[in-house]
Chains A and B, each alone.
Chain A
Amino acid sequence: MPRPNQMHKSLPKAQNFGKSMGKLIGFLKPYLLATVVALLFAVASTVFNIIAPDLIGQITTIVTEGLFLPTGIDLGAIAKIGTTLIIMYGCCAVFGYIQGWIMTTVTQRVCNKLRTQISQKINKLPLRYFDTRNIGDVLSRVTNDVDTIGQTLNQSLSQMVTSVTMLIGLLIMMFATSWQLALVAVATVPLSMILMLLIVGVSQKHFKAMQKNLGNINGHIEEVFSNHTVVKAFNAEEKMTQKFDVYNQTLKQSGWKAQFLSGLMQPLMGFVGNLGFVGVCIVGGIIAIQNNDVGFIGVISSFMIYIRQFGQPLGQIGQITNTLQSTAAASERVFEFLESDEMPDESNFATHFDTVRGDIEFKDVYFGYTAEKTVIKGFSAQIKAGQTVAIVGPTGAGKTTLVNLLMKFYQVNSGDILIDGVSISNLTRTNVHDLFGMVLQDTWLFEGTIRDNVVYGKQGVSDEVLWRVLKATGMDHYVRTLPKGLDTVLDDKTTISQGQRQLLTIARAMIENAPMLILDEATSSVDTRTEILIQQAMDKLTQGRTSFIIAHRLSTIKNADVILVMKEGNVIEQGNHETLMQQGGFYADLYNSQFENEEE
């Protein structure tokens, strides 16, 4: 599909055009033969396209000459040329289509491969990679950038070949037919180039301004619309409208200038084309009259078509260089992602735990997400098998970070974490993950059936087990009431509360049945009555397993065997609820503050 708005986007520029294109072409290698064949077809089809006008010109010449012959026009000769032309046009179309078909197929296969590689890459990157990038960015690489490659590569590759072939072919044909008229046609090239550069130079500035203003106004609209209640409650409608008006007017100003200037491009090119046309008419006419050569009309009529065709590859080459820029920019982003550093290879690790007792030791662990800021500073703790460990502390104390380290999502800077006396750095990530079940605050369910969500990739889970788990989490009733039961697809139309979502993620952890457990703020997003239900489900889950519980609400963790009180990356107190309350330290202070009277 043609895209009318393409002109209006300021095209992103690739940092290193050659390198990115080189990599992309590397992806084409398996299809090299197909591509070469396609390009040969493109050349063949173009050659026919160039020869054809000459034949049309021959017909015109025959007609003109016929006017002055007593025998009239040689219709037989015309029929011969006509038939040749029909065959040529036919071949031209067939070749063109074969070329299009092959290129489409190759391009789409390449896109498919790129997407698959991105998807696999996501799972090979360390979590650290995603700390500094937002999801939208990765998403747009999978869809937008790959799409851009798909749309542009197909056309630009074949167009580039056809355009260049056409340009060269046309030049040869033109100079062979009449060098004078050819010079006239060629003379228009620098003129159109200069005009094009001039306009692009000026309009680019306004386009950038327009894009910026568009961003401003969209940002403002988003801000005001999403915070409608606040704006209303504070009677700030007028203030917001005034700001809007300013943005709106600036956008209007830059908008019309950009549109106007870019709209000039086509008429100007058309004008230059017309000039060529006129030039050929005049010069051709003069030559014909001077030489008294009526047959020259045939030459002129061929040139009419040459001129029309001549404009095409010129404009196309200009456009293609632009499109290739965005292809390069898109592939640069895709390849940047594909070439990011992956997590270290662990395929040669010998140690493997099928099951564990569940002793865990943190030994003087230091860690920071960035080099500048250390989050965990010399953390040490020993946890015995089967214990329930609660980690409390203010936001930013490093509670979740600890979990991230334990799960080997991140590597410690120094120190060590041991499971049953074995350092996790000697265990594969897969193995460590197998040892822990995990329930997180943000209740992650995907669009799929309840069954898939709860079983989640585990093989051979019977319905019986599934129902037992759902019963244990108190979700069996809800699932039974759904028309499709376990096969109900959870999507944004399903009415499922936050609490129910949380219970499903707990069910998922029960199915996994790992020897150890991590509950990271698993109840903070639900109301207190639902929390009781979740609490009960979690209690069942933690029985007999080494468990780590991170919680905001202190009531959730009072029953833990060990409470680790963290502050600024270190454990400042440790013990059970009673001993900590007796100590009267930070924990006691934190705990009491929720009950103190205002009027003290």
Chain B
Amino acid sequence: IFQAMDLMFMALSYFKRRKFEESAELCTKILEKNPYDQAAWALKARSLTEQVYIDEVEAEEQGIAESVMDDVSVAQVSRPGTSLRAVTGASGPSPAVRPVSQSGRPLSGFVRPGTQSGRPGTMEQALRTPRTAHTARPVTSASGRFVRLGTASMLSSPDGPFINVSRLNYSKYAARPNLAKVLFEYIFHHENDVRNALELAALATEQAQFKDWWWKVQLGKCYHRLGMFRDAEQQYKSALKQQVMLDTVLLLGKVYQRMDQPLQSIATYKQGLEKFPDDRSLLVAIARVHDEMGQLDDATKWYKDVLETDGVNVEAIASIAANYFYTDQPEISIRLYRRLLQMGIHNVELFNNLGLCCYFAQQYDMTMNCFDRALSLAEDEQLGDVWYNISHVALGIGDNNLAYQCLRLAIAADNGHTEAYNNLAVLELRRGDVERAKSLLRSAAELAPHAYEHHYNLATLAENAGDLQTSYSSVLKSVAAFPDHMDSKNLLKTLKQHFESL
């Protein structure tokens, strides 16, 4: 009896159970018998698409071309607090307390696409991989990264592609809405051929007499991928007029962020909240925008709103915990990290953070335990961070020898660990090895031109040695990285006096 079961029914059943490969195989069998079976064809296209489907709202990463040659943002020099490019008007702890990422933005408590990179100031910064990211930036977002993220077009199939996109007659398919939608998703997600997808969508929306919001959203997605943000905005807005959908609101907000209009983006999300009150994805999106603008207090407020409706949101918990840690309330951070632990998250980063929180909240009996676990879980590149944190504890209890060893181990594990270089330089200086301290600070400056500590340390060292010129050039970099750093400003003043006096 089982043999006689309808193949189409089985394929559908597999599809429902998210067994897409089996479903696609069965559809292939049906299509071998009857190449014109539209149902099988559509189901196969959908199964193939589902295998590689990624959420367009989440997975966006800016490429080098977009971030360096940015021509869509409205103002090159924006007013404070209205741009993602330069962090001005930030709230929350200063860089002296909370470290910053390459773009000068406070480190976020949760890694997601875009948090590590930001908008680089120079081409070299754009090309260089940030220490904590470990994947380089794509050239443009329209190219390779999406190939890797979610398409199968790279994988060669033995008997040619399922649908030969270049030979399709789009106007024929556009006239049949049920097939067209499936075909569009296949081309867009599976083949990653945005141009052809756009052509199909344009024809289809015309066929639908511009009354189908779904096609407008798809058109917007295509424009977005092609970097035509104004057109995308227009399509999304038009779609929203017909039908307010969560997805569309999120996409529209995303477009505004790409155009460097974060306030407009927030306004869009807030409008969405009126229609979909307490929606988690909208709340998270608003929090993220605040986070990227460096407004940590606001971001924390929104993350708390997220937790009210969704108590197990990892991103919200982690971000709030990081914020509490850096605003001098590590005891609350412990609570939040413990909650993550209870939720079953069991990784190096969590233990590493928990260890440091315990130390600063004076729960000493837990500290080393956490670090020990982190060490046993860590891979090479995470190992550097764990040793670095242990060195903090060692410095705190006055064991310089252990701190020195830990920092050396951090550098051995991760050759680009700037903070470790900086701290090691200070320890070397205490040991009296000035040359090595200088050399370590120089490498730190080379690895991370965005942080201020090593620039300031190098400037102080050079000033003590009487090398005013080096000191001056370093302290200028330090002031550029952290304009409010009082010690740097004082040093700059002293140097100016040196230069001006007769």
| A, B in one complex | no
Which residues of A does B touch, CB under 8 Å? Answer: none
Interface residues of B (CB under 8 A from A): none
